[in-house]
Chain A
Amino acid sequence: MLSRTADGLYWLARYMERAENIARIVMVGHRMSSMARSLENPGNEWHSTLLAAGCEEGFFAKHAEAAAPLVVEYLVRDSDNPSSIATCLETARRNARAVRTALTVDMWDALNETWYQARSGNRFAVAPESLPVLLEWVRERSLLFNGAYANTMLRNDAFYFTRLGTFVERADNTARILDVKYHVLLPRHEGVGGALDYYHWQAILRSVSALRSYHWVYQERLKPWLVAELLLLRPEMPRSLLSCYEQIVRQLELLEGAYGGKRGECHRIAGELHARLRFGRIQDIFQSGLHEFLTEFIERAVILGNEISALYLL
């Protein structure tokens, strides 16, 4: 396969995943901010939303204050923001078009129709009250794309690169959400357990579609360390870091098999990160600091991405 094709597949999957993740993050921000007001919380939800989306720097280069409409505008439709939902859909489509022949018809339809709908009828010029409808639509389109490629692609290197993109992006997103929200919440509320915290934890879990899962796995009321464990270390949780890294390692192994045993530094790093999650314990992670753990993880993931590029995509 052409390196450019592999690159295109990897990035289009990353951008579709990112569009969905940003939609989820904005949805949480939306929900939290409405709660914050009612509970007389000073509320810096929109600031932490920016942090979670990894868009803080770009936002403050443009705006002075994290006011709700500005943050929503920046994350949802600002074309200056490379990670806004609108830009992600545009970039995914552009990548898809450049590697058109590597896509199945269903994948192309999903991507193209998404892009087409996004452009037509001012879908992105919505009033605040219809924001949830827009975010829901983004989530649906991303799920449609994921379903289309999972169900129609040949199981060959093209599929492995696409999946690799999805899970590298998803791992990054889960790590960020956990880091930012945990960081923001925990220091101010030593005694976790108030109603506000409860709703905040709920919102975080919702953002990764894990609220129900939490109850199924733990059958307990929400506890911060269990939320962290669920999102980091539980293999049955599809957006946990462990699940993502299981997939990343698996796709890299499949590529290794497809390319006659050729391995690189990316295989080693992915294996190492996976082992940490696979055999790590949540109490040990808390002992040495969750924030430190996640920060290092996010940094290592960036290096992993670079090594994947160096081995396959350039």
Chain B
Amino acid sequence: MVSRPAAETRDAAAAFDEMAASENCQARYELIRRWIEETPAEALSLKRREAELLFRRIGITFAVYTEGGDPERLIPFDIIPRVLDAEEWALLSRGLKQRVRALNDFIRDVYHGRQILRAGLVPPDLVLHNEGFRPEMQDFAPAQGVYTHVAGIDIVRLGARDFCVLEDNCRTPSGVSYMLENREAMMRLFPELFARHHIAPVSHYPEELLDTLKSVAPQQCAGEPRVVLLTPGSYNSAYYEHSFLADEMGIELVEGVDLFVDENIVYMRTTEGPKRVDVIYRRIDDDYVDPLTFRPDAVLGTPGLFNAYRAGNVTLANGVGAGIADDKSIYPYVPAMIRFYLGEEPILSNVRTFRCGQPEELAYVLDHLDELVVKETRGSGGYGMLIGPQATREELDLFRAKLRAAPGDYIAQPTLALSTCPTFVESGLAPRHVDLRPFVLSGKEIRIVPGGLTRVALRDGSLVVNSSQGGGTKDTWVLES
């Protein structure tokens, strides 16, 4: 799963409290409040222990996640759900669809006519010299023109109607299994809550994903397309999710060695002989897909796979080269993409971002380093980043030097006051900061299952929702109107 601190603030009290604020404007948290008030404290604690037990059981499968390390480490689950009402979800949903459409258009453009570069809206160097750029994709049209079949868009909330995108994930975003398992756990623990309220279901996500994948089968594929999920294998940290999704979709979970390519056609090795494969939902990075085209030392992929893809005989989802759209140095240009390709105003705004490659923006960043979050454009997983307000003098100096040496490798953002939700902590209920990752599916059409993965910073005052730093997850409820 992703592990990236969202941001840090010096004043958590300024954050938007999703439950307290709803007192005036919405009634959506009313049910949670009433439930908490009605339920005796001991009963809640009991449920909480029950949840722990339940998750230990389900969690044993989560636990394999950290195999090699501590097998008992689970990602903590908080029993108080986060609630979004229908109206909020409608806004988010529209904004997400719009954003993903533009991201996909951008990728297609980058590998074809590059209109947006010619229009001077995105600096060509930023794209053409980007690590996420794959020249091998030039002029290739994937089925239905789709590159970002599964996108995970990280959303932070700063106010009642103020949802911002913090990060786009267009390669192989993970975490959706937590969304599904969290709901499963809540339904087992609190069936009465679900009976009383209309909460939009999420359990059909695997079906929606399978439909999406089938809808992008190669054109010449006759009959029912055969879809498989390609995993790096059981030692990958997201392996549990891969097997969970393959299982839920009823498709084969394959590794690179299970596939081979003959005359640009992809087959899997089965007990009945070779079987042709039409769509591959791959959860391995571009670099490892095909040793003949990309990293020659990659053992995870299948030789010849990329040529079969380019020949139009198999669909890879997500498309190769989609990473050009989620690079941190490209992120500041997404609002411009939305205007350029769709002729619309962005529904979801970006977080204000300083491009350190621009001299005047760099000057500002250097001046305000102790207030900002600085991220390496190529970095992910929270590596190579500075959280200004938390940093020591030495760390600040180190980053100052790094910024001066290679300013183009960094962006900076203000520390954000992430919204808070009531959360069970040692002392009882307390507000804790949250973010949200909804999953957007793009095939013939764009679909979003109402909800997503809410991550919560369990430590008081912390804005770091990342699981390695005491972050947990919550079920995310979207109320049906």
Using a CB–CB cutoff of 8 Å, the interface residues on chain A facing chain B are 1-6, 94, 97-98, 100-101, 108-109, 112-113, 116, 119-120, 157, 161, 255, 259-260, 262, 312-313
Interchain CA distance A282-B315 in the complex, whole Å: 61
Report if B329 contacts A (CB, 8 A): no
Given the interface pairs A98-B233, A100-B247, the reply to whether A112 lies near B60 with Cβ below 8 Å is yes
In this complex, the interface size class of chain B, counting residues with CB under 8 Å from chain A, is 20 to 34
Contact of B272 among A119, A120, A259 (CB under 8 A): A259
Interchain CA distance A262-B257 in the complex, whole Å: 24
Interchain CA distance A122-B258 in the complex, whole Å: 37
Are A3 and B270 in contact, CB atoms less than 8 angstroms apart?
A: yes
Q: Which residue of B lies closest to A311 (CB)?
A: B271
Are A94 and B254 in contact, CB atoms less than 8 angstroms apart?
A: no
Report the minimum CB–CB distance from A8 to chain B (whole Å): 10
Report if B234 contacts A (CB, 8 A): yes
Report the minimum CB–CB distance from A10 to chain B (whole Å): 10
Interchain CA distance A196-B259 in the complex, whole Å: 59
Given the interface pairs A2-B252, A4-B258, A112-B61, the reply to whether A101 lies near B247 with Cβ below 8 Å is yes
Are B243 and A100 in contact, CB atoms less than 8 angstroms apart?
A: yes
- What A residues does B60 contact at CB under 8 A? 109, 112-113, 116
Interchain CA distance A1-B269 in the complex, whole Å: 8
Are B253 and A100 in contact, CB atoms less than 8 angstroms apart?
A: yes
Report if B71 contacts A (CB, 8 A): yes
Are A1 and B271 in contact, CB atoms less than 8 angstroms apart?
A: yes
Contact of A6 among B61, B71, B255, B271 (CB under 8 A): B271
Given the interface pairs A108-B61, A112-B60, A112-B61, the reply to whether A101 lies near B246 with Cβ below 8 Å is yes
Are B64 and A97 in contact, CB atoms less than 8 angstroms apart?
A: yes
Interchain CA distance A97-B72 in the complex, whole Å: 17
- What A residues does B72 contact at CB under 8 A? 120
- What A residues does B269 contact at CB under 8 A? 2-4
Interchain CA distance A101-B251 in the complex, whole Å: 9
Beta-carbon contacts under 8 Å, B258-284 to A: 258, 268-272
Contact of A101 among B253, B255, B257 (CB under 8 A): B253
Interchain CA distance A108-B57 in the complex, whole Å: 11
Report the minimum CB–CB distance from B258 to chain A (whole Å): 5
Question: 22 pairs across A/B with beta carbons < 8 Å?
Answer: A1-B270, A1-B272, A2-B254, A94-B234, A97-B64, A97-B234, A97-B239, A100-B239, A100-B243, A100-B247, A101-B243, A101-B247, A108-B61, A112-B60, A112-B64, A116-B60, A116-B63, A116-B71, A120-B72, A157-B271, A161-B271, A255-B271
Interchain CA distance A161-B271 in the complex, whole Å: 10
Interchain CA distance A169-B255 in the complex, whole Å: 27
User: Which 7 residue pairs spanning A and B have beta carbons closest together?
Assistant: A100-B243, A101-B247, A97-B234, A312-B271, A3-B269, A101-B253, A6-B271
Beta-carbon contacts under 8 Å, B224-240 to A: 233-234, 239
Interchain CA distance A117-B326 in the complex, whole Å: 42
Interchain CA distance A313-B271 in the complex, whole Å: 7
Are B234 and A98 in contact, CB atoms less than 8 angstroms apart?
A: yes
- What B residues does A100 contact at CB under 8 A? 234, 239, 243, 247, 253
Are B258 and A2 in contact, CB atoms less than 8 angstroms apart?
A: yes
Beta-carbon contacts under 8 Å, B433-474 to A: none
- What A residues does B268 contact at CB under 8 A? 2
Beta-carbon contacts under 8 Å, B376-416 to A: none
The residue among B233, B252, B255, B257 with the most chain A CB atoms within 10 A of its own CB is B252
